[in-house]
Amino acid sequence: MSVFACRRLSTSRVHHIPLPLFEEATKFFLRKPKIEGATYDDIQLKEPSKDDLAKFSKESGKFLRFLKIWCEEDGRGQQWVEYVKQYDTTGHLTVERDVYLTRDEVSSAMIESGYDYKEVYALETFFSPDDKFHYPEISILFNIDEQHTYEYCMRVRARNHSVVAVKEERRPALVRSYALFFAAVAFFFSYTPLSSYIFIGKLIPSTLLYYFLVFQGLGMPLDAAMRQISRLACEKQMMTVLDGEEAIAMRMRDFAQDGECLKSLNEFKGEAQASLIAYHKALVVRQKQALKEKLSRQLLSIQQAEASIGASLQDVMVRELVKMFRETFPKDAQLQDAALKSAIANIAGDKVQDPIAGKFLSALKDLSAADLEKTKGNEAGTLVERVAAVFQQKEKDFLSNFTVKGEEVSELKQIIAKIKTGTADGYDFKKLDTATSQKLDSLYSSINARMGFDVADERMITVTTQDTMPIHDAGAADFVEAVNAKVAASADKIRTNRLTAFLKAFD
């Protein structure tokens, strides 16, 4: 069995499990509703033909409503129309009374034959457990020949030991069969040699009674013992069968994964191709995203650094102004004298300009008029020179952090001069010795990192051998070797590309 599904069945779905049946005669009489012109009989004893079975008129409005929906779903609307014509004007169908299936028997057959559970639920929801489906209804419901459905219904009824309604057979009223039997026995015993009082009245009754008692005394325990032995044997056999089924089902459940495995294997090629295309796209998107993020971060850093310089300029001015005052005031006697006089005049109520404030205002005026970039910085000079010194230092730090330095440019130019070929490729990197090559790589990395450029690096690419080791398969190992060679060749090309583009910017 190549493909199968196996699962545990919920108990609600199990209607019957075939177990050994043991028939017992009961002391109770079976009571059934009286039917005019019919009587009941055991289907297995009577073995009635189709003509022997009693018929009745069935009202099937509920079934017809369900059948209409069912046929429309199946695309058999015309069949429903033809079927309805079998009904009489009052909407009744004349059919054999006990040739039917119960709702649960129909749903069991549907489950067994692979019907979808939704279809079974629809049937079980629409009909109650007491509803009966007679064979013409089964026939139209599942589009099966009526004769076959009749056979199936009779088999099910016989298997369940049903008592069915059959047509009543009326015997002749004048001479009853038991009267003929009585007459025959009376005639026999009247004209045979042993028809005496002793034989008829004593010997036969006492002998019959004796053997009856003997068989009753011995037969009952013997019969019970035989029944018990037979029951145990059947139960043991059934348990063995169920054990075997259980073991096979468990194995099948294990092996069910094989089918899934083969299915997955068949689909692997397509999935792998799709995933590799998606992976390729994802790599490009990720690289673009990384480039964008790193560049944005670097631009933000530059913006923050510029803002920081601007914000700190005011602090620098105040600090340098105070510093200059503290340094110059103790040494300047004229300023001290003017400040003292100004203070005394203020106390006297005279309006005199404060010489210290005037000096501060004068310094600030000079500062606003000065070009800090062109002014030569001097930490011990005027306020303008002091602020210019601090400003130029910050600018130098800023340029150092966010631009390519002059010495780096000159180093690169030296390298370019060494390896420039004048061909289309531009540079021959094989001319570089190991130290210079490492220096070039170092400059490439540090300058790009400083600029915030995130560039592809062949060293970040996964090396195939690390992913696939250990490979014990010759074919796979060959493929891996071929890929590794290609990866190595591509890695050289990537390095050449990126260094060429880098050096051309400085050439």
Partner 1 sequence: MLNYVPRRTPGVKLLYGKRPVQRIIAGHSKFLIAIPTTTTDKIYEKVDESVYYENNTYNPLQWKDYVKIKLDAQNLIEADVKSALTNLDFYPKIQGLYAGQQSLAEMDAALKMSAKPQFKFPLASGGTTK
- Integer angstrom CA distances of residue 238 from 112, 242, 317: 21, 6, 105
8 Å CB contact between 166 and 99: no
Name which of 318, 307, 327, 299 is nearest 394 in CA terms.
307
Residue number, 150 or 363, with CB nearest to partner 1: 150
Buried b (16+ CB within 10 A) or exposed e, 370-402: bebeebebeeeebbbbbbbbbbeebeeeeeeeb
Instruction: Work out whether 175 is an interface residue with partner 1 (CB under 8 A).
Output: no
Q: Which of 229, 247, 344, 485 binds partner 1 (CB under 8 A)?
A: 247
Which range in 23-31, 311-319, 369-377, 486-494 contacts partner 1 by CB under 8 A?
486-494
Instruction: Work out whether 242 is an interface residue with partner 1 (CB under 8 A).
Output: yes
CB of 253: closest distance to partner 1 in angstroms?
7
Length of the chain: 507
Which range in 206-214, 252-260, 345-353, 367-375 contacts partner 1 by CB under 8 A?
252-260
What is the total count of residues that contact partner 1 (CB under 8 A)? 104
Q: Which helix (H) or strand (E) holds 91?
A: none
Instruction: Work out whether 149 is an interface residue with partner 1 (CB under 8 A).
Output: yes
Q: Which of 246, 267, 327, 337 binds partner 1 (CB under 8 A)?
A: 246
Could you give the angle at the alpha carbon of 168 between the alpha carbons of 164 and 174, nearest 5°? Answer: 150
Instruction: Work out whether 50 is an interface residue with partner 1 (CB under 8 A).
Output: no
Residues 396-455 contacting partner 1, CB under 8 A: 399-400, 402-406, 409, 447-448, 451, 453, 455
Name which of 390, 359, 356 is nearest 373 in CA terms.
390
Instruction: Work out whether 372 is an interface residue with partner 1 (CB under 8 A).
Output: no
Binding mask 287-316 for partner 1 (x = CB under 8 A): x-----------------------------
Residues 84-113 contacting partner 1, CB under 8 A: 109-113
Give the count of alpha carbons within 13 A of 290, CB side only.
Answer: 12
Instruction: Work out whether 274 is an interface residue with partner 1 (CB under 8 A).
Output: no
Q: Which helix (H) or strand (E) holds 42?
A: strand 38-42
- Bridge pairing between strands 132-134 and 55-59: unpaired
Which range in 22-30, 63-71, 194-202, 236-244 contacts partner 1 by CB under 8 A?
236-244
DSSP 8-state assignment for residue 194 = T
Residues 324-363 contacting partner 1, CB under 8 A: none
Instruction: Work out whether 472 is an interface residue with partner 1 (CB under 8 A).
Output: yes
Residues 7-36 contacting partner 1, CB under 8 A: 7-9, 11, 13-14, 17
